[in-house]
Structure 1
Amino acid sequence: MWLKSQILLLYCIASEVWMAKQLNSRRNLPWGLYSVEDRGSAGWDRLKRSLYQGKSCRIRGCCTGRNDDCSFNIASRAAICYCDQFCATGPPGPVDCCADYWDVCDNTVEPTRSDEPWPPPTSGCYKDGRYYGEGTIIKDNCNSCKCFQSNWKCSNEVCLVRPDLIQNINSGDYGWKADNYSQFWGMTLEEGFKKRLGTLPPSHSLLNMKEIPGSSPPEGKFPEFFAATYAWPEWIHDPLDQRNCGASWAFSTASVAADRIAIHSDGEITDNLSVQNLISCDTKNQHGCNGGSIDGAWRYLKTHGVVSYACYPSFWKHHLDPPGENHCYVSSEYGQNYTNGPCPNDLEKSNRLYRCGSHYRVSSKETDIMEEIMDKGPVQAIMKVYEDFFLYKEGIYRHSYKAGSKWKTHSVKLLGYPALWSMNCGVHYLTKMDRNRNSGFPMKTFFILIPENESQ
């Protein structure tokens, strides 16, 4: 009896091997080289496969090209079917395909093999139709997720890009539209605040600085619209890309100073000023790409001065992280008009230093601010930035309040005011920001800033 069982088992194994070889040998034959016997056998196999209406390919997954392992064993019919593209295009033709191949795999999109392991696992996790083994760690936007006992355990960070917030803004009546920007995907809100802003809240000395009063002319004396870019088109400098360097304190200061020097010199000096000079060399109570104060930046411009952007370009040698960003490549002494050495950029020969007089605070009256911009050029302002600002696409930005109450401070250059002030809704101001050049972010976009007491 034991001998008969062994013989029967060996016979079954041999039959399975023979069947697989026969199927594989038929797959290896070129077109048109089948005997009548082969065609009859193929027809019988096709009949057996067609009788099986299970979910072969839906379970196994589809494969591109030829993959002899991309098969499904129909035990109840003693047949093997395939879910690869070759089953429909190569010999012996579509008889090789599983019954549900045409519904699951035969479509206009090239079939791809399932990421699920075979046979199906008893543990692990799935996300977006893809299988992950136990202990796998993946990134879901800004959160880290680990597969633990067939469930995802994720961190709970607030992400800079929130699809639900984008949908809420775009479906609401906020006056502006939001969008998803790929370079922000994966960043937390705190990372966005730290890397994309960078101006410290105004110090007590700045807040207590005496305002310079203006002549306070009536609103009727002003044109309905004013923009410094139109009044001095050759002397107003475009904003620079801040990248992931939280130093708006330096970018806005250098830009306003460069514009005012050009206007004051009547166009004789139009060089853009080096932001990197401020970031790397103004280190007293300043933190480079991790934040700084605008009053400290103006003091440095008065005492030391900075070189031109051409002399010391931004992110020189890509020193974006400490201590590289704080390595100063120029040195200057108080009262000197030139640096002690040549420019870091050896293509630029002029190492001249540009200085400004003492900074001052403009009166908070709206007409005084308008008069200041029209007479002397752009001014610098500190604004609150809420998390929804990072999603801005177009329109007049106003905090949506659905985003939450967390905010940080940011400094910008005010270029003028639009015609909206004459519509009994107060004075609004134009500023211009440059977004990341390698993304879909709007570049050199005008923003209309609304005074805080109007936006309540």
Structure 2
Amino acid sequence: MWRCPLGLLLLLSLAGHVALGAKQGRVRRELAPGLHLRGIRDAGGRYCQEQDLCCRGRADDCALPYLGAICYCDLFCNRTVSDCCPDFWDFCLGVPPPFPPIQGCMHGGRIYPVLGTYWDNCNRCTCQENRQWQCDQEPCLVDPDMIKAINQGNYGWQAGNHSAFWGMTLDEGIRYRLGTIRPSSLVMNMHEIYTVLNPGEVLPTAFEASEKWPNLIHEPLDQGNCAGSWAFSTAAVASDRVSIHSLGHMTPVLSPQNLLSCDTHQQQGCRGGRLDGAWWFLRRRGVVSDHCYPFSGHEQDEAGPTPPCMMHSRAMGRGKRQATARCPNSHVNNNDIYQVTPVYRLGSNDKEIMKELMENGPVQALMEVHEDFFLYKGGIYSHTPVSLGRPERHRRHGTHSVKITGWGEETLPDGRTLKYWTAANSWGPAWGERGHFRIVRGVNECDIESFVLGVWGRVGMEDMGHH
């Protein structure tokens, strides 16, 4: 440790400049991004002192990490632009710093300059002039306290941060990540088709569509920040059903964008839509493959117009239709139109849904999504009470639609048996269990059994390879 009077400091600093001019075979130290002309942007703090670090000449290892950059405790730091540590003058030279320290707020072990604005997850924070740190109080979609509470509780599933949701408010999650409008009472009371189980018929304890129909069940889609689950779940179920019912002769991934842009009667594209309308469109107009008409992925731009419909079809007789335009994706020539037969509603008894699923393929289900579902990482989901003690705005829900692909049951460590559905969501493969989730079965958890639809792919003999 050494101190030196100011005169010597000037001499040393002159010597430093001469050395710099002579280059001495060493390049000038680049200024780290965290530092600027007024010197250090910190309002103080112990750096050189903490490490008891002071060096005479230029010494690159006389340096410390500082606010994502590096500051120095050697005499060479005090050039025209300073990259000295904030306490260098004070501690190493015993003189007051040549500029007043910048005022700031201490937050999470860092100092932020006054009047700066920063994001903390989904909330905007400001360092006020009185050096108070102030943040908005919006409930965030990814809530670390909720994740912790779920994982510490014995709820049968695990929560985690899905990075695509980080920085979104809970409100935005409900607004942009769901997008199925609850059916009208007329549609809700749609005639149910009852599947009769034969006397003595026993359904297996576990079933997965992809095991019965390998290569015909498609992977989960990703709706991004488009509130279009009405189109995504419909396209997903129709893709699987057309593939199964054509015995694998046709295995299209059908285009959600075709529905979002072209099915405009009482539908709102990426701002929500109805399942009955989507199925009507698939039956009467048909859609092309996703390859032919790819998703244009709207980010939450409320003002942006829905892209115009690029795909129309016309009747060819016998109920079949053909496209009247080339594929919007100019690299694809195959603009075949795929259609379905009229949609039917299943009874809400889990045995009926199971039998339909096992015989005819994945089904579409409406579900109520709550604030904790966004955090699902794995396990058998059921809505938890962790938000009950919090203000109302932390408890939000909205209607969504998904594709149920199978079922099973699991014995928990405490001996309980949980029966579950497996389903594909449309939040991409990184969410949940590779884009899928399991949810408690048989008790209408989150309304998942209240409105379940099936449909047949419209497949003629000519589609079965008899071209």
* TM-score normalised by length of structure 1: 0.73
- Please tell me whether residue 24 in structure 1 is matched to residue 13 in structure 2: yes
In 1, are the aligned partners of 2:118 and 2:125 still within 8 Å (CA)?
Answer: yes
Contact 1:60 1:118 in 2 (8 A): no
Distance 1:257 1:376 in 2: 12
Return the alpha-carbon distance in structure 2 between the equivalents of residues 119 and 61 of structure 1: 23
Q: CA deviation at 1:217?
A: 3.9
Q: Deviations 1:398-450 (Å, cap 9, x if unpaired)?
A: 211113442111111111211459x996853211236445x686523342343
State how far apart, in whole Å, the 1-side matches of 2:431 and 2:401 are.
23
In structure 2, relative to structure 1, the CA distance for the partners of 1:243 and 1:173 (3 Å cut) is same
Q: Return the alpha-carbon distance in structure 1 between the equivalents of residues 325 and 137 of structure 2.
A: 51
Structure 1 residue 281 displacement after superposition: 0.8
Paired residues of 1:219 and 1:367 also in contact (CA < 8 A): no
DSSP 3-state at the match of 1:418: strand
Shift, 1:142, TM fit: 1.1
- Can you list the C-alpha shifts for 1:81-103, whole angstroms capped at 9, x where unaligned? xx8254699xxxxxxx99x99xx
Asked if the contact 1:380–1:411 (Cα under 8 Å) also holds between the matched residues in 2, the reply is yes
The structure in which a higher percent of residues are helix is 1
Q: Which amino acid aligns with 2:280?
A: R
Residue of structure 2 aligned with 1:232, choices 213, 231, 251: 213
Q: Does 1:196 align with 2:170?
A: no
Aligned with 1:447 (options 425, 438, 444): 438
Report the alpha carbon displacement of residue 203 of structure 1 after superposing the two structures with TM.
Answer: 2.1
Deviations 1:196-255 (A, max 9, x none): 211112222221101011113468521221111111012111121222222111111011
Question: Which of 314, 328, 333 is the matching residue for 1:344?
Answer: 328
> More displaced, 352-361 or 145-154?
145-154
Alignment of 1:294-373 (within 5 A): 294-315=275-296, 321=301, 323-333=304-314, 337-373=321-357
Deviations, residues 153-182 of structure 1 (Å, cap 9, x unaligned): 322211111111111111111111111233
Partner of 1:34: none
1:428 aligns with 2:420: yes
1:374 corresponds to 2:358: yes
1:84 is the counterpart of 2:72: yes
Give yes or no for contact 2:220–2:436 (8 Å, CA) kept in 1.
Answer: no
Q: For 1:220 and 1:420, how far apart are their aligned partners in 2?
A: 22
1:264 is matched with 245
Q: For residue 404 of structure 2, what is the aligned residue in structure 1? A: 414
Aligned position for 1:284: 265
Higher relative contact order, structure no. (Cα contacts within 8 Å, ≥ 6 residues apart): 2
Q: What residue in structure 1 maps to residue 124 of structure 2?
A: 144
Q: Could you tell me which residue of structure 1 aligns to residue 35 of structure 2? A: none
Give the counterpart letter for 1:350 in structure 2. N
Deviates more, 1:326-335 or 1:263-272: 326-335
* Paired positions, count: 383
Q: 1:255 corresponds to which letter in structure 2?
A: A
SS of 1:24's equivalent in the other structure is helix
State the 1:146 CA deviation. 2.5
Q: Percent identity?
A: 43
1:21–1:170 CA distance, 2 compared to 1 (3 A):
same
Where 2:338 maps in the other structure, the secondary structure is coil
More strand by share: 2
Counterparts of 1:218 and 1:293, CA distance in 2: 37
Give SS of 2:48's match: helix
| Alpha-carbon displacement from aligned partner over 1:39-78 (angstroms, at most 9, x marks no partner) | xxxxxxxxxxxxxxx968359998999599x99xxxxxxx
Corresponding residue for residue 40 of structure 2: none
| Preserved CA contact (<8 Å) 1:433 1:443 | no
Residues 263 and 377, structure 1, Cα contact 8 Å, conserved in 2:
yes
Counterpart of 2:110 in structure 1 is: 130
CA distance in 2, matches of 1:218, 1:118: 89
Whole-Å separation in 2 of the counterparts to 1:155 and 1:172: 28
Quick one: which amino acid aligns to residue 13 of structure 2?
N
2:126 corresponds to which letter in structure 1? K
8 Å contact kept, 2:224–2:299: no
3-state DSSP class of the match of 1:157?
Answer: coil
**Which residue is 2:158 aligned to?**
177
Unaligned ranges ≥5, structure 2: 20-44, 64-70, 78-83, 389-394, 448-467
Partners of 1:340 and 1:55 lie apart in 2 by 72
Counterpart among 167, 171, 174 of residue 148 in structure 2: 167
SS at match of 1:417: strand
Farther off after superposition, 327-336 or 187-196: 327-336
Alignment of 1:396 with 2:380, yes or no, is: yes
CA contact (8 A) 2:285 2:339 kept: yes
